[in-house]
Amino acid sequence: MKFDFINKELTEARYMRTDRDTLGRDAYDIGETAYEQLLMLQQMRFENPGFAKKYAEDTLRFNNFRGIKPGASDLHNLISIVNNPSKYKGVTSGGAVSINELELKRYLKDIAAGRNNNNRDRNFLLKLQKDLGIKNSFLKNARRISADYGRASPGERKALSSRMILSQKQDGKFRSDITKQYGKIVNKKGLVPEPDKKGLPLWAQAAGAFAVGFGVSKLLK
């Protein structure tokens, strides 16, 4: 499969590696970042199933989410912080947010096994959005597109990818293990627009495209 070389690279946390990385972080913001990474993984189920399978397997490697592990994926460590905030003194309050571990494991095991159940996955991502108290309009719109990614138009896929890449440039998220590979895949597949001839910056192109793409996705519901 195209881009299978990516699957052979070791998945290891680069964004949340130790307790020190939690200093001054809000529990809600950490949950939001974990959710964003799950949406990226959901998209990769379609764009590069091999990578998605390996990343899901690596995230499940330790069989639980009880704490940060240097050899785990960033997604594993983010989930561990969300579900065990009292272990990390650096984490400030951010509301009572949590991730249902049984439901999460089922979702990741489905990805690792190459199983797709669109209705179940859609319900899981929607419920998780509510459990984490996601208010970010971009993530809500991204969930609507990625949850039905198989039905998304080329324009919607490009809009989602461009906006997601821009989001990764904030708060050091570009260091994340999944972000590095996500960027390679969407660029290789032409899902990030070329520089605009009119001089529009990428953020303006992405914002406009995402708004149009989301409008189309609502009509498809």
pLDDT at 70 over 70: yes
pLDDT at 7 over 50: no
Residues whose CB is less than 8 angstroms from the CB of residue 118 and which lie 6 or more positions away in sequence, other chains included: 147, 148, 150
By CB atoms closer than 10 A (0-12, 13-18, 19+), residue 17 is middle
At 29 the pLDDT is 87
What's the domain range around 40? Answer: 4-220
The count of domains in the chain is 1
Confidence band (pLDDT; 50, 70, 90) for 218?
A: very low
pLDDT at 179 over 80: yes
Please give the torsion angle defined by the CA atoms of residues 43, 45, 51 and 55, in that order, rounded to the nearest 10 degrees: 80
Q: Which residues pair with 91 in a beta bridge?
A: 25
At 200 the pLDDT is 43
At 21 the pLDDT is 66
Give the tens place of pLDDT for each residue, 145-168: 999 999 999 999 999 999 999 998
The span from the CA of 124 to the CA of 38, in Å, is 11
Higher pLDDT, residue 123 or 195? 123
pLDDT at 5 over 60: no
Q: Is 98 helix (H, G, I), strand (E, B) or coil?
A: coil
